Amino acid sequence: MDKFEEKLQVFARKGLSEEEVEKKILDEMGDECICPDCPMFNQCAKEKYEGLYCILGKSECTLEEDECICPDCEVVEDLDLKYDLYCIKGSEKELRE
Ligand code: SF4
Ligand code: SF4
């Protein structure tokens, strides 16, 4: 089991709902997200205060595909994330299913 699965299991043991888990991770790691520095992060995403797509899932904006900088983000290491381009592909959880 990797760190992402461990984290989800810890929250599941505490009986947290999916929304509560998202909120907790947002509180813990939201500041580490470097999406705002990514070439794909456009005005629409900025105005909607988007980010942490790896947990929250796809963007509601139309983003033009470019180089994803997730591999440089600390959250990838913190949670052993395996994918990228979360803003258009969906969350880590969705991509693992
Ligand atoms: S891995 Fe990507 S989507 Fe997730 S917090 Fe880091 S930069 Fe944002
Ligand atoms: S998920 Fe990756 S591609 Fe999308 S905005 Fe964040 S860093 Fe850029």
Q: How much is the pLDDT for 53?
A: 97
Q: How much is the pLDDT for 91?
A: 96
Kindly state the average pLDDT of the residues 49-69: 96
Q: How much is the pLDDT for 15?
A: 94
Q: Which of 34, 63, 79, 83 to mutate to test the pocket of ligand 1 (most atoms within 8 A of CB)?
A: 34
pTM of the model: 0.94
How far is the centre of ligand 1, averaged over its atoms, from the C-alpha of 16 (Å)?
A: 22
Question: What are the backbone dihedrals phi and psi of residue 23, each rounded to the nearest 5 degrees, phi first?
Answer: -65, -40
- The total number of structural domains that make up the chain: 1
- Indicate the helix (H) or strand (E) that contains 88: helix 86-89
How far is the centre of ligand 1, averaged over its atoms, from the C-alpha of 90 (Å)?
A: 12
Q: How much is the pLDDT for 85?
A: 98
Calpha distance 86→84 (Å, rounded): 5
Q: How much is the pLDDT for 58?
A: 98
Which residues constitute the domain of residue 55? 3-96
Q: What is the pLDDT of residues 28-38, one digit of tens each?
A: 999 999 999 99
Q: How much is the pLDDT for 86?
A: 98
> Which ligand places an atom closest to the C-alpha of 37?
2
| Residues above pLDDT 70, as percent of the chain | 100
